[in-house]
C-alpha cells in the first residue's frame, strides 16, 4: 500500500529555535517511517522581505544541517530546496488564475506582515498563500503539519484545489491538517503570550538551536514568570511558567503533574536551571552533528541534491496533468 504524503517546510530566515524543534521537526521525526515525507527549505517564501543574499544562502544550508542533526534521516525523508524545484512556481502561476482577490484580502498574515513591513508591501506578500498552495498541491500531499498561524493558509489551499477539481475533474488531493497534540506552540521567554520566533529582534525571547550552554542559562534566568514562585501549569494565569513547563515536559518526557511534584518545594530559580539543563542535554548531540555537517559542504550538498531529484520526479507528472487539463500543449 502506498504511503500517505506529508509536505512541510521552514523559511530560510532567522535562526531555528527550540520552538521549531519541539513544534515541528521533532514531530516530523516520528513520521519518517510511516509516511512519504517531503521537507523543504522555503527560500522562495523568504523573498517577501529583503535579505542579504549571502546570509540567505548560508541560512538555507544551516536549516538543512539542523534538519538532519535533529534526527531527520535523509534516507527516509526528501529534504530539498524550494527554489530548485521549478514546478512550484509553474503551478503557482496557474493557481493564481483560480484564486480570487477577495480570498487573498482576507488573509490575516498579509495584514500582519504588511503592518510589520510597511515600507515593503509587495505583491509577493499578497500572493504568498498561492505559492504555499502550489507547494502542497504539487505533491498531492495528504497531510500538512500546521500550527494555528498556518491553518488559514491550508484552508485557502483546500478551496483552490476543490475549485480546480470541480472545473476539470479530480486532479488534486485535498490536503488535511496534521496537528500535533504537544509542542505546537512554544511561546517566547520574554513574551509568553506570543509564539517563539526565529526572526525575533529580542534575542532573549528565543532559544536558538545553536546557542551555547552559557547563552541558554542566561536566557532562562531572564525568562518571564510571575510573583508566586510556584511551579504550576495554568496557561491563563501563569503563561510564562506554563510555557517553561511545556518545554521541560517535552525535553524530559514528563507529565505536568510529575513536574509540579518535582518542584513543589523549590523556587523558580531551581526550576529555570532545570529547564536550561534539559535543553542543553538535548541540544548537545544535535549541535555536534550540525557542526560536522556544516564543516562538510559536499555531504550537505549531496543531501539536498538527493531530495531535489526526488521532488522533481514527484512533481513533474502532476504538473503535466494540470497543464493537459487546462489546455496547454505538453
Query: Which residues are tagged catalytic?
Result: 113, 195, 198
Q: Which of 246, 250, 281, 245 is nearest to 264 (CA)?
A: 245
**What kind and span of H or E run contains 27?**
helix 26-29
Q: Give me the phi and psi of 101, to 5 degrees please.
A: -55, -40
**What kind and span of H or E run contains 178?**
strand 176-178
User: How many residues in total does the chain contain?
Assistant: 330
Q: Which of 100, 50, 80, 157 is nearest to 313 (CA)?
A: 80
| Beta-carbon count within 10 A of 22 CB | 24
What distance separates the 2 farthest-apart alpha carbons in the chain?
73
Q: What value, to the nearest 5°, has the Cα angle with vertex 23 and ends 19 and 29? A: 120
Contacts 24+ apart (CB under 8 A), 266-273: 266/231, 267/229, 268/225, 268/229, 268/231, 268/241, 271/231, 271/241, 271/244, 272/220, 272/221, 272/223, 272/225, 272/244, 273/217, 273/220, 273/221
**Assigned C-alpha cell, 259:** 513536574
Amino acid at each position: 500500500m502506498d504511503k500517505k504524503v506529508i509536505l512541510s517546510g521552514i523559511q530560510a530566515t532567522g535562526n531555528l529555535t527550540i520552538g521549531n524543534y519541539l513544534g515541528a521537526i521533532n514531530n516530523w521525526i516520528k513520521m519518517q517511517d510511516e509516511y512519504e515525507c517531503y521537507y523543504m527549505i522555503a527560500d522562495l517564501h523568504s523573498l517577501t522581505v529583503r535579505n542579504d543574499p549571502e546570509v540567505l544562502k548560508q541560512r538555507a544550508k544551516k536549516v538543512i544541517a539542523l534538519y538532519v542533526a535533529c534526527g531527520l534521516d535523509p534516507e527516509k525523508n526528501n529534504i530539498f530546496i524550494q527554489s530548485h524545484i521549478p514546478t512550484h512556481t509553474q503551478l503557482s502561476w496557474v493557481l493564481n488564475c483560480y484564486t480570487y482577490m477577495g480570498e487573498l484580502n482576507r488573509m490575516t498574515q498579509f495584514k500582519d506582515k504588511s503592518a510589520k513591513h510597511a515600507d515593503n508591501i509587495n505583491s509577493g506578500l499578497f500572493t504568498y498563500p498561492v505559492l504555499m498552495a502550489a507547494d502542497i498541491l504539487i505533491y498531492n500531499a495528504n497531510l500538512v503539519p500546521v500550527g494555528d498561524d498556518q491553518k488559514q493558509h491550508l484552508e485557502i489551499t483546500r478551496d483552490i484545489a476543490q475549485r480546480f477539481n470541480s472545473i476539470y475533474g479530480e486532479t488534486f488531493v485535498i490536503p488535511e491538517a496534521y496537528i500535533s497534540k504537544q509542542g505546537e506552540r512554544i511561546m517566547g521567554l520574554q513574551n509568553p503570550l506570543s509564539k517563539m520566533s526565529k526572526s525575533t529582534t529580542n534575542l532573549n525571547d528565543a532559544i536558538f538551536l545553536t546557542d551555547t550552554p552559557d547563552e541558554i542559562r542566561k536566557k532562562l534566568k531572564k525568562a518571564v514568570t510571575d510573583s508566586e514562585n510556584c511551579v504550576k501549569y495554568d496557561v491563563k494565569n501563569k503563561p510564562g511558567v506554563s510555557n517553561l513547563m511545556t518545554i521541560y515536559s517535552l525535553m524530559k518526557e514528563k507529565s505536568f503533574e510529575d513536574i509540579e511534584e518535582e518542584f513543589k518545594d523549590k523556587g523558580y530559580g531551581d526550576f529555570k536551571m532545570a529547564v536550561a539543563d534539559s535543553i542543553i542535554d538535548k541540544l548537545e548531540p544535535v549541535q555536534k552533528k550540525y557542526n560536522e555537517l556544516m564543516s562538510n559542504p559536499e555531504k550537505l550538498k549531496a543531501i539536498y541534491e538527493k531530495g531535489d531529484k526526488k521532488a522533481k520526479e514527484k512533481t513533474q507528472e502532476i504538473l503535466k496533468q494540470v497543464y493537459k487539463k487546462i489546455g496547454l500543449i505538453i
